[in-house]
């Protein structure tokens, strides 16, 4: 198994076990130095930093880069390899919400049809955006409910696609279920929606960094995601991939996406490079300094190795926790399992709080689901220790009876 712990800064205290990669990955060791470089570049180069700064990112340190070009530079050199995409297709974005709003503001996808097919595991940044634009420009959202097992009803998704379908928007990994949609299914969706002239949009936030995504094999026209989770970025580190040849003119393009921004033309003229049209106003460059430090670690280890390691660690955790009486709620088969596993256990929120007191960081949902993701920074020994602690807590049942004030209070983020 992989143990890349030394590539990351250990959380406090030193014996802590961080199992919440699905919320925010550990900080890569190189992040503080990158942030120092931002400060130094700003101080030394001032306005000229927009044109050129030393290339701290690589892979070719002599390749020119400045704050103006950084969103596409990182897109080409780090996001594209992460997604198996060619250069020229990816650009950094502030968040998925912005990308969806921008995409939905483009008239081209809706020339023939107005239907947007979603599943009920769509993240609010997707789901709410579609609803907001629906009333504005007359889209028709159609949500395909989950099947009786709580997972995406794949047959129903395929059956829903027709001549009126403009977009099908699917989560590569369900954020509540941990279900990974297999490549062959996504390909079948892409083929069907393309036959009707529509587009496949994939929200890959929870697949990014833990799974070797292949956008061409999926047939995705648009693939959005962020680096906050397994890829250990932070806020402002989202991205979009746009299939080569996709012609879109988002109405939300800002002046950073203008063909000739410093002409300050009275009317908008979109940049010839379509991905640049997904830029709005002035890019927040500070978060881009550390954006790809985690990606660098994962690409060096190899995404196939990262995926194999994640499966081995979740295999181990599932075996141990099922033996302790917890019930697996996320998919078991490797081809549908993501980095996150979800287990059903009574009073999962209390169990999670008790584990936190022991510096074992998991999370809970709806008081009955415990979520964890042993990842590359967790040693096999940490996985064993965490599983043992959970098994012991469940065996004694003491956590069920602790008074509420004996447990750490949860914050607004869970």
Residues that bind ligand PLP (CB under 6 A): 95-97, 123, 125, 171, 175, 203, 205-206, 226, 238
- Residue 106 or 393 with smaller CB distance to ligand PLP: 106
In terms of CB distance, is 175 or 185 closer to ligand PLP? Answer: 175
Closest distance to ligand PLP from the beta carbon of 67 (Å): 21
Query: Which DSSP string corresponds to 22-46?
Result: TT-PPPBTTHHHHHHHHHHHHHHHG
Which CB, 113 or 236, lies closer to ligand PLP? 236
Shortest distance in whole angstroms from residue 265 CB to ligand PLP: 30
Least distance from ligand PLP to the Cβ atom of residue 208, Å: 10
* Residue closer to ligand PLP, measured from CB, 341 or 383: 341
Q: 95 vs 105, which CB is nearer to ligand PLP?
A: 95
Torsion angles phi and psi, residue 4, rounded to 5: -100, 25
Pairwise CA distance, residues 188 & 172, whole Å:
14
Q: How far is the CB of 173 from ligand PLP (least distance, A)?
A: 7
Q: Compute the least distance from the CB of residue 23 to ligand PLP, in Å.
A: 7
d(CA 35, CA 37) in angstroms, rounded, equals: 5
- Residue 78 DSSP one-character state: I
- Looking at the DSSP assignment, which residues form a beta bridge with residue 53? 65
Task: Find out whether 356 and 176 touch, Cβ atoms under 8 Å.
Answer: no
Residue among 340, 401, 345 at smallest CA distance from 372: 340
User: Tokens in use for 200?
Assistant: 């496949």
Question: Is 338:181 a contact under the CB 8 Å cutoff?
Answer: no
- Sole residue written with tokens 């650009």: 91
Using an 8 Å Cβ cutoff, are 279 and 253 in contact?
yes
- Check: CB of residue 226 under 8 Å from CB of residue 205: yes
Shortest spacing between CB 320 and ligand PLP, in angstroms: 26
Q: State which residue, 3 or 120, has the beta carbon closest to ligand PLP.
A: 120
CB of 371 to ligand PLP, least distance (A): 12
Strand partners, 109: none
Task: Decide whether 89 or 338 has the Cβ nearer to ligand PLP.
Answer: 338
Q: Measure the CA–CA gap between 9 and 377, rounded to whole angstroms.
A: 10
Q: Which is nearer to ligand PLP, 57 or 175 (CB)?
A: 175
Q: Which residues contact 77 (CB under 8 A, 6 or more apart)?
A: 57, 58, 59, 292
The neighbouring-strand residues paired with 65 are 53
CB of 164 to ligand PLP, least distance (A): 26
Q: What's the rounded Cα separation, in Å, for the pair 189 and 208?
A: 20
- Count of CB atoms situated within 10 Å of the CB of 376: 29
CB of 280 to ligand PLP, least distance (A): 14
C-alpha 217/C-alpha 187 separation (Å) is: 7
**Taking the CA atoms of the chain, what radius of gyration do you get in angstroms?**
22
Q: Is the dihedral of CA 373, 376, 378, 383 positive or negative?
A: positive
Q: State the nearest-atom distance from the C-beta of 393 to ligand PLP, in Å.
A: 27
In the bound state with ligand PLP, the residue whose beta carbon lies nearer, of 119 and 171, is 171
User: What's the min distance (Å) between Cβ of 204 and ligand PLP?
Assistant: 8
Upstream peptide bond of 59 is cis (omega within 30 degrees of 0): yes
- Specify the DSSP class assigned to residue 337: B
Nearer to ligand PLP, 67 or 175 (CB): 175
């Amino acid at each position: 198994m992989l143990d890349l712990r030394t590539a990351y800064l250990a959380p406090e205290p030193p014996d802590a076990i961080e199992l919440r990669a699905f919320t925010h990955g550990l900080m890569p060791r190189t992040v503080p130095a990158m942030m120092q470089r931002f400060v130094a570049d700003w101080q030394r180069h001032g306005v000229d930093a927009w044109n050129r700064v030393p290339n701290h990112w690589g892979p070719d340190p002599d390749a020119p880069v400045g704050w103006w070009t950084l969103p596409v530079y990182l897109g080409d050199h780090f996001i594209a390899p992460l997604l198996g995409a060619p250069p020229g297709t990816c650009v950094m974005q502030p968040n998925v919400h912005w990308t969806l709003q921008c995409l939905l503001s483009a008239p081209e996808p809706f020339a023939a049809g107005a239907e947007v097919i979603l599943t009920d595991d769509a993240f609010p940044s997707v789901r709410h955006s579609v609803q907001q634009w629906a009333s504005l420009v007359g889209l028709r959202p159609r949500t395909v409910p989950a099947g009786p097992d709580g997972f995406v009803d794949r047959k129903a998704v395929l059956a829903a696609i027709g001549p009126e379908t403009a977009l099908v928007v699917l989560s590569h990994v369900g954020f509540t279920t941990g279900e990974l949609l297999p490549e062959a299914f996504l390909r079948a969706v892409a083929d069907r929606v393309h036959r009707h002239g529509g587009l496949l949009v994939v929200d890959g936030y929870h697949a990014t960094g833990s799974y070797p995504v292949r956008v061409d094999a999926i047939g995705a026209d648009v693939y959005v995601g962020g680096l906050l989770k397994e890829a250990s970025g932070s806020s402002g580190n989202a991205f979009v991939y746009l299939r080569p040849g996709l012609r879109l003119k988002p109405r939300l393009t800002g002046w950073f996406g203008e063909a000739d921004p410093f002409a300050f033309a009275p009317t908008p003229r979109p940049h010839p490079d379509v991905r640049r049209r997904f830029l709005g106003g002035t890019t927040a460059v500070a978060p881009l300094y550390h954006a790809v430090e985690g990606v660098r670690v994962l690409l060096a280890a190899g995404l196939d190795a990262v995926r194999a390691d994640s499966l081995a660690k979740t295999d181990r955790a599932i075996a141990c926790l099922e033996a302790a009486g917890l019930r697996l709620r996320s998919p078991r088969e490797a081809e549908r399992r993501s980095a996150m596993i979800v287990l059903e256990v009574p009073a999962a929120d209390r169990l999670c709080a008790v584990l936190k007191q022991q510096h074992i960081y998991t999370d809970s949902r709806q008081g009955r689901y415990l979520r964890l993701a042993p990842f590359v920074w967790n040693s096999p020994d940490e996985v064993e220790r965490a599983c043992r602690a959970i098994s012991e807590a469940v065996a004694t049942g003491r956590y069920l009876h602790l008074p509420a004030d004996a447990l750490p209070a949860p914050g607004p983020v869970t």
